[in-house]
Structure 1
Amino acid sequence: MTESLHTDGDRTVLRMERRFRHPRAQVWQALTEPDRLVQWFPARAEFEPVAGADVTFDWGEGDGPVVDGRVVDAEPGRVLAFTWSGEVLRFVLHDDGDGCRLEFTHEFDDRYGAASFASGWVQCFAGLDQLLSGVPIYAGSPSAAQHDAFVARFGLDAGTVTTGPDGWRVRFERQLTAPAEVAWPVIERLAAAPADDVLERAEAKALEYSAPGGGRVRWELGQGTGHGARLVVTESAPAPGGDLDADAVAAGWRERVDALARELRG
C-alpha cells in the first residue's frame, strides 16, 4: 500500500504510487489525451499540457464544459500538474524497468474528505491500468469498507479535545458512507436522548440535547464529498470540577462514531 497523508502548511496532501507495465509515453497519452483520460478520470478534462493553459471539465450532466482549472506544471512525457476547483493534482512519471512508475499527489483543504479521495483514486487508477492493458474498464465506485479503512489508516477517526477557562469541548468530524436520511435514524437511536433533554431537533440535519454535568451534545449532518453526509458531533461541558473527564468522553465518542460507521456500511 503506497497511500499516505500529510500536511503542507494549512493544506492536506494525499500521496499515492502506482506501477504500470507500460512505457512512460503510453501512460502520458492516457493522462493528456481527452478521449483516453475520460475513460478513467472522474470527468472529461481538456487542456494543452503547457503551463498556464486553462483546463475545462465536463461532468456529463448536461451543463457542458466549464473552465475550472489551470495547468501549473508540465514537462512533456514526465510531469503534469493542474488545478481543479482550487485543488492541485500532480502526476510525475518515472521509467521503471520495462514499465512506468506514477507518483501522484492531491492537495486539498478538506482533510476529513481524504478517505473519499483516496478510495476514489484507487478505483480511478485501477481503471487507468485496465485502459493501458486494453481490457474492459470495470472499476466502479469505492466500497464503504474501503473508504472506512482509509479513515482508520489516516487517523481520521480521532477526535479533538480543547480546554479553557469555560470548560472543555470534544469534537469529532467524520465523512460517512451513507446519505443524511439513512444516517439520521441510526443517530437518533445511538443518541437515545430523552425527549425532555432535547434542545433542538431538525430531522436529518441536527440534534442537540443536554448532557450530564451541565454540558451539551450536538450531532450535525451536512454536505460531504459525495460519498455520503458529513457528520460533526460535539460534546461540551462547563469548567472542570465535575466527574466528567474530557479524554474519557472522547474515547467513548470514538467508539460511538465508529459504531455508526460500521452500521452504515452494513
Structure 2
Amino acid sequence: MKETLTTVEGRPVLRIERRLSHPPEKVWRAITEPEHLSRWYPFTATELDLCLGGRIRFDDGRGTAMDAVVTELDPPRLFAFSTNAPAEMSRESADLVRFELSPEGAGCLLVFTQVFDDRYAAASYASGWQVCLDAMEAVVDGRPVEPGYPVAELHDAYFEKFGLDSGTVSETADGWLVRFERQLTQPAEKVWTLLTGEESAGPEVGGPVPQSFTSAKVPAGAVTSVKAPALLEYEWRTGGHTGGRVRWELSSGTGHGARLVLTQTGPGGHRADRSTALAAWRKRIARLAEDLRGLPR
C-alpha cells in the first residue's frame, strides 16, 4: 500500500494505492452495492442512486447522516462522489472521494483519492480510510473484519509521515509568530485534564502555568488568560523581561478528538528564540500525542 499527501489547486489530496487479488468487477460490487458497502464503510448507504448526479444518503445509525452526489461513474472502473457540500456551497468546496480500478493480472489496482480543505485532518482521513480499505479487502476475500485497530497510533504515524508536525513561522507587525496545529486523538476535556492534572484546582489568571503547558526551552511567566477546557495563555520570559505570549487553544476537530493550535509570539530580530520555539514545541506536542495514545478511548 502507498499513501501520499499532495496539494492540487490549493487543496490537499490524499492518495492511497492498493493492489487487490480480485478483478475490478468483484471489487466494484463491494464499493457500489449498498449491501456490500455497508459491511466495511462506517455508514450505511440507505440510498444510492448509481448514476451521474445520483443521490447517496449515508447514515451511521447513531444520529449522524451524510448526503453525497455521484460525480463520476464508469463501471467497473470509476466511482466518485462529493460530500459535505450544502446547497449554498460550490462544488469546489465539497470533499471529493474517488475510487479507480485498473485490471492487473488476475487482480486489480485500486487508486483511492480524497480532496478536502482541512490539511491538518489528513492523518485522520488516511488512518480512517486505511481501516476501511482493510475491512473492504477482508469482505471481498470472504474473511471476517478484524476489530480493535490501533487507530491512535496509526493516526499519529500518518501525521508525522505527511510532515504535519513541523510548525510554521510567520512575520507579524510586532515580530514573529510560531504556530503549530495538530489533530489530537482524545477530546478536549481529556486533553485538559492530562495537561492540568486531575487533582489540580486549575490554572488562574496571574498564577503559575501548569508545567505540562510549558517547555524548559521557553521560560514561562504568569497566566494571562484561561478558559477550561479550551484556552490557556501566558507570558514567556527572555533576558529578564517579557518576550511575548504562548497560547494553547483546543477546539472541535475530526472524530479522532480535539484540535490543538499552539502559538508563540516574539519580538522582531530574535531569530534564535523563534528557532528554539519551533524545536521545543514540536518535541512537546509529540510527547503530548504519545501520552494521549496511552489513555483509554
State the TM-score, normalized to the length of structure 1: 0.92
Query: Can you list the C-alpha shifts for 1:21-52, whole angstroms capped at 9, x where unaligned?
Result: 11111100011110110111121123222211
Alignment of 1:224-243 (within 5 A): 224-240=253-269
Counterpart in the other structure of 1:220: 249
Provide closer, same or farther for how the CA distance between residues 196 and 239 of structure 1 changes in structure 2, counting only shifts above 3 A.
closer
- Taking the aligned partners of 1:196 and 1:168, their CA distance within structure 2 comes to 19
Aligned equivalent of 1:120, options 128, 131, 146: 128
Match of 2:101 in 1: 93
Q: Which residue of 2 aligns with 1:54?
A: 55
Q: Distance in 2 between matches of 1:128 and 1:263?
A: 31
Residue in 2 that maps onto 1:204: 229
Does residue 1:191 correspond to 2:213, yes or no? yes
Q: Which runs of 5+ in 2 are unaligned?
A: 85-93, 197-210
Q: What SS does the corresponding residue of 1:230 show, helix, strand or coil?
A: strand
Report what 1:131 is aligned to: 139
SS at match of 1:83: strand
**Equivalent-residue separation in structure 1 for 2:125 and 2:188 (angstroms):** 19
Deviation at 1:62, TM superposition (A): 4.5
* Alignment partner of 1:162 out of 166, 170, 175: 170
Structure-2 residue corresponding to 1:259:
287
Gaps of 5+ in 1: none
Residues 246 and 262 of structure 2 are in contact (CA less than 8 Å); yes or no, is this contact kept in structure 1?
A: yes
Aligned residues: CA RMSD: 2.0
Aligned AA (1:14): L
The worse-fitting range, judged by mean Cα deviation, of 206-215 and 112-121 is 206-215
CA distance in 2, matches of 1:146, 1:96: 28
Instruction: Spell out the pairing of 1:35-54 with structure 2 (5 A cutoff).
Output: 35-45=35-45, 46-54=47-55
Deviation at residue 195 of structure 1 after TM alignment: 9.8
Q: Which residue of 1 aligns with 2:151?
A: 143
Q: How does 1:64-103 map to 2 (within 5 A)?
A: 68-85=67-84, 86-103=94-111
**Distance in 2, Cα, partners of 1:177 & 1:207:** 20
1:61: Cα distance to partner? 1.7
Instruction: Give the counterpart of 2:119 among 98, 101, 111.
Output: 111
Q: Which amino acid aligns with 1:158?
A: S
Quick check: 2:221–2:236 contact (8 Å CA) kept in 1? no
CA shift, 1:108, in A, is 0.7
Q: Report the counterpart of residue 12 of structure 1 in structure 2.
A: 12
Q: Distance in 1 between matches of 2:14 and 2:221?
A: 45
Instruction: Name the aligned partner's letter for residue 215 of structure 1.
Output: G
Q: Deviations over 1:143-194 (max 9, x none)?
A: 2111111011000101000014410000000011111122113334422599
What SS does the aligned partner of 2:268 have?
coil
The verdict on how the C-alpha distance between 1:230 and 1:41 changes in structure 2, with shifts beyond 3 A counting, is: same
Instruction: Provide runs of 4+ in structure 1 moved above 4 Å.
Output: 139-142, 192-196
Following the alignment from structure 1 to structure 2, what is the Cα–Cα distance between the partners of residues 263 and 49? 45
- 195 and 170 in structure 1: CA distance in 2 versus 1, 3 angstrom threshold: closer
Change (3 A) 1:108 1:247: same
Post-superposition shift, 1:200? Answer: 1.1
Structure 1 residues 88 and 147: CA distance shift in structure 2, 3 A: same
- One-letter amino acid of the counterpart of residue 36, structure 1: H
Q: 1:192 to 1:169 in 2, by over 3 A?
A: closer
Question: What is the rounded CA distance, in whole Å, between the counterparts of 1:196 and 1:17 in structure 2?
Answer: 49
Q: What amino acid sits opposite 2:119 in the alignment?
A: R
